[in-house]
C-alpha cells in the first residue's frame, strides 16, 4: 500500500519530480564522467608528464564527492519543500508519523535509484560524446581512455546508493520530528535579518584586503613558491565569503536608498528578494564562485596548452626536412603548398661536415634567441653572412638539416672548388616551409615517416628541428593535460550550475505566495517575469563576475611559473564556451522557477 501511495504521489506531481530527477541524474552522470578519468590510473599516468597527476585526480575526486554531497542536500531540501505541506495534511487527517516516515523513505529511494541508473546511462553517453569531440576536434593523442569503465560505474553506484540511503533516513527522521503546524506553515514563517552597518563595512574591507593578498600571492609565486598556493587558497575563500556576506548586501541597501531607482517598476521588490537571497545563499554563492573559477580555469588552461602547442611548433623554422629523398618522396613533397624550399648537398670528411657555398642562393632561417613576443619566431641569415666570423649564427641552423648520425659534428661552408676536391660520403637535404603547416600536417606526417624508414632512422628521432617533430613531441606531452582540463571544466561547470539551480528552486515555495499576491493586486505577468529574470540573473552574475576575476589573477600562476607562455592570449574561446553553457543553465533555471512561482501566468 505504501509503495502504491508513494508512486501515486510521485505521479501526481510528475512535472516537479522530473525537475528533481533530471538534476539528480545529471549529478550522477557528471560524477561518473569524472570517475572514468580519476580511477583510470593507466590513463592519468600515461597522458600526463606530471608525476603527481594521479594524486591530483584523487584529490579532485574527493572534492567532487563533497560538492556532490552538498548538491544532494539542496536537492533533498527541494524534495521536502514540495511535499512537506502534503505530509502535514496527511498527519492532520490521522496518518501516523511512522507510516509517513516510511512513505518519504520509499519516495526518496525510488527517485534516487531511478536518477542513479539514468545518470549512469547519460554519463556513458556524455563521456563518449565529450571524449570523441575533444579528441577529433583538437587532434589530441591520448592513451587508455575508455568511456565504459567498470570501477567508475561501481564507485558511482556505491556512492550514490549510500547518499540516497542517508538522505532517506534523514528525511524520515526529520519528518517525524517536525510538528504538524510547522509542516503546514513553514512557507509563511518570516526571516529576520540583522543589520549592522559598521560590521558590514569592516567585513567588506577585510574581504577586499584578503582577496588582494590572495591575488598578490599568486602573482609572486616565483618568490613565495608553493606557499603562495596555500596563502591564495585561504585568503580567496574567506575573502569571497565576506564579499557575499557584507559588500554585496551593502550595495543592495545603497540601491534601495535611491528612490528614483528603487521605486521604478518592481525594482524595490527585486532588491528585497535579493537581500533575503544573499543572506540565505552567501555560503552557496561562495562555493559556486570558487567552483566557477576552478571550472573556467581548467577550461582556459586546457585551451592554453593548445595555444602553447602551436607556439612551440612555430619556433621551428622548417616544416619538414628530407634526407636523400626518393622520387616518390619528391613527388609527394611537390604536392605541398610550398612557401620556400632549400635543396643542398653536404659531405662528411673525418668527422667534419662541409657545405658548398654556391648552393645557398636564398636566406636561411634561424631561431630567435630573444623572447620578445613582437618579433617573429625566426630570422633570416643571408648567404653573405655564412662566414667564419658569424659562425655561431648559422652553425645550429645547418646542423638541424643533418642526418642524426652527423648531428653535432663541426660544420664548414667552403667554396665550390674546395668542396669538389673533398672525398667522402655525399648526402642531399631538402628543407621545406609550407604556407600553412597545420593544413599540410597529414602529408608532412607521411613524408617524415617515409624519410625515417628510407634512411633507417629511429621513429623517436628529435634531433632534426622540423615543425612536425616539435609538434608531435609537445602533443604527446600536453594532450593528456589539455584533455583533462576540458573534461574537468565541463564537469565542474555542470555541477556548480546545478547546485545553484536547485538551491534557488528550493526557495520557490516561499516565493510563490509573494508573486501570487503581486498578481492578485494587478501586476502584469510581463513585469513578474522580468523580476524573476533579474533576480535570478543577479544570483548567476555575481559568482560569474567574481569567478572570472579569480581566473584572471590565477593565470599568473601559470605565466610566472613558465607552464604557459601567453595564458591571456586566447581567452575569448574558453570564456565564450563557458559563457554559453552557463547562460543555458541560467535560462533553464528561470523557466523552472517561473513554472513553480507563476503557475497562473504561463
pLDDT at position 324 over 60: yes
| Each residue's pLDDT tens digit, 65-93 | 777 777 677 667 767 766 666 767 777 76
Alpha helices by DSSP H, listed for 374-462, are 391-399, 416-421, 441-454
Average pLDDT along the chain: 77
Q: Which residues contact 597 (CB under 8 A, 6 or more apart)?
A: 508, 511, 512, 515, 516, 532
261-282 mean pLDDT: 77
398-409 mean pLDDT: 78
Decide: 172 and 107 in contact? Cβ < 8 Å. Answer: no
Q: Would you state the pLDDT for residue 51?
A: 47
pLDDT at position 213 over 90: yes
pLDDT at position 192 over 60: no
Distances (CA, A) of 108 to 22, 72, 116, 169, 556: 14, 11, 12, 9, 45
- For the chain, the structural domain boundaries read 1-189, 191-314+467-602, 320-465
Between 423 and 498, residue with greater pLDDT: 423
Identify which of 340-349, 478-487, 591-600 has the greatest average pLDDT. Answer: 340-349
- Residue 324 CB-density burial (10 A; 0-12 exposed, 13-18 middle, 19+ buried): middle
Q: Would you state the pLDDT for residue 602?
A: 47
Q: What percent of the chain has pLDDT over 90?
A: 2
Q: Would you state the pLDDT for residue 496?
A: 77
Q: What is the pTM of this model?
A: 0.69
| Each residue's pLDDT tens digit, 137-187 | 555 556 666 778 888 889 889 988 888 888 888 777 777 776 666 655 555
Distances (CA, A) of 384 to 249, 343, 364, 367, 400: 72, 18, 11, 18, 20
**Euclidean distance between CA atoms 261 and 331, whole angstroms:** 74
Q: Would you state the pLDDT for residue 504?
A: 80
pLDDT at position 48 over 70: no
Amino acid at each position: 500500500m505504501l509503495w502504491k501511495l508513494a508512486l501515486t504521489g510521485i505521479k501526481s506531481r510528475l512535472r516537479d519530480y522530473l525537475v528533481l530527477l533530471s538534476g539528480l541524474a545529471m549529478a550522477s552522470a557528471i560524477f561518473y564522467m569524472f570517475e572514468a578519468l580519476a580511477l583510470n590510473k593507466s590513463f592519468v599516468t600515461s597522458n600526463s608528464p606530471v608525476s603527481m597527476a594521479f594524486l591530483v585526480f584523487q584529490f579532485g575526486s574527493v572534492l567532487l564527492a563533497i560538492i556532490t554531497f552538498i548538491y544532494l542536500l539542496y536537492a533533498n531540501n527541494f524534495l521536502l519543500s514540495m511535499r512537506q505541506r502534503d505530509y502535514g495534511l496527511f498527519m492532520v487527517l490521522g496518518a501516523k508519523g511512522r507510516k509517513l516516515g516510511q512513505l518519504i523513505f520509499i519516495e526518496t529511494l525510488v527517485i534516487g535509484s531511478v536518477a542513479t541508473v539514468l545518470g549512469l546511462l547519460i554519463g556513458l553517453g556524455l563521456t563518449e560524446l565529450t571524449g570523441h569531440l575533444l579528441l577529433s576536434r583538437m587532434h589530441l593523442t591520448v592513451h587508455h581512455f575508455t568511456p565504459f569503465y567498470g570501477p567508475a560505474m561501481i564507485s558511482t553506484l556505491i556512492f550514490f546508493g549510500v547518499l540516497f540511503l542517508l538522505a532517506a533516513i534523514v528525511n524520515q527522521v526529520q519528518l517525524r520530528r517536525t510538528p504538524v503546524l510547522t509542516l503546514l506553515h513553514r512557507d509563511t514563517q518570516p526571516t529576520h535579518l540583522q543589520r549592522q552597518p559598521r560590521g558590514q563595512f569592516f567585513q567588506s574591507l577585510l574581504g577586499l584586503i584578503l582577496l588582494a593578498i590572495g591575488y598578490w600571492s599568486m602573482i609572486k609565486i616565483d618568490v613565495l613558491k608553493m606557499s603562495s598556493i596555500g596563502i591564495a587558497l585561504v585568503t580567496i575563500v574567506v575573502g569571497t565569503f565576506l564579499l557575499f556576506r557584507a559588500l554585496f548586501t551593502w550595495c543592495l541597501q545603497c540601491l534601495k536608498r535611491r528612490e528614483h531607482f528603487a521605486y521604478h517598476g518592481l525594482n524595490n521588490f527585486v532588491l528585497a528578494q535579493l537581500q533575503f537571497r544573499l543572506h540565505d545563499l552567501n555560503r552557496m554563492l561562495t562555493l559556486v564562485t570558487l567552483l566557477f573559477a576552478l571550472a573556467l580555469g581548467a577550461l582556459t588552461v586546457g585551451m592554453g596548452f593548445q595555444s602553447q602547442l602551436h607556439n612551440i611548433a612555430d619556433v621551428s623554422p622548417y616544416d619538414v626536412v628530407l634526407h636523400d629523398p626518393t622520387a616518390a618522396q619528391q613527388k609527394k613533397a611537390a604536392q605541398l603548398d610550398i612557401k620556400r624550399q632549400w635543396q643542398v648537398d653536404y659531405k662528411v670528411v673525418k668527422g667534419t661536415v662541409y657545405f658548398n657555398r654556391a648552393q645557398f642562393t636564398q636566406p636561411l632561417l634561424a631561431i630567435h634567441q630573444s623572447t620578445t613576443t613582437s618579433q617573429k619566431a625566426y630570422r633570416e641569415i643571408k648567404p653573405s653572412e655564412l662566414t667564419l666570423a658569424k659562425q655561431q649564427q648559422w652553425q645550429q641552423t645547418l646542423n638541424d638539416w643533418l642526418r642524426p648520425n652527423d648531428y653535432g659534428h663541426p660544420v664548414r661552408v667552403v667554396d665550390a672548388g674546395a668542396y669538389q676536391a673533398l672525398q667522402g660520403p655525399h648526402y642531399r637535404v631538402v628543407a621545406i616551409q609550407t604556407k600553412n603547416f597545420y593544413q599540410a600536417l597529414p602529408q608532412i606526417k607521411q613524408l617524415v615517416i617515409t624519410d625515417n624508414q628510407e634512411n633507417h632512422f629511429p621513429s623517436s628521432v628529435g634531433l632534426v628541428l622540423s615543425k612536425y617533430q616539435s609538434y608531435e613531441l609537445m602533443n604527446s606531452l600536453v594532450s593528456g593535460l589539455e584533455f583533462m582540463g576540458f573534461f574537468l571544466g565541463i564537469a565542474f561547470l555542470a555541477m556548480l550550475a546545478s547546485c545553484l539551480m536547485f538551491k534557488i528552486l528550493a526557495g520557490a515555495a516561499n516565493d510563490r505566495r509573494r508573486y501570487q499576491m503581486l498578481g492578485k493586486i494587478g501586476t502584469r505577468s510581463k513585469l513578474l517575469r522580468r523580476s524573476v529574470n533579474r533576480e535570478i540573473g543577479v544570483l548567476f552574475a555575481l559568482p560569474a563576475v567574481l569567478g572570472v576575476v579569480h581566473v584572471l589573477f590565477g593565470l599568473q600562476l601559470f605565466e610566472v611559473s613558465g607552464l604557459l607562455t601567453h595564458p591571456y592570449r586566447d581567452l575569448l574561446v574558453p570564456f565564450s564556451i563557458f559563457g554559453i553553457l552557463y547562460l543555458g543553465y541560467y535560462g533553464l533555471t528561470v523557466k523552472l522557477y517561473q513554472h513553480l512561482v507563476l503557475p497562473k501566468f504561463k
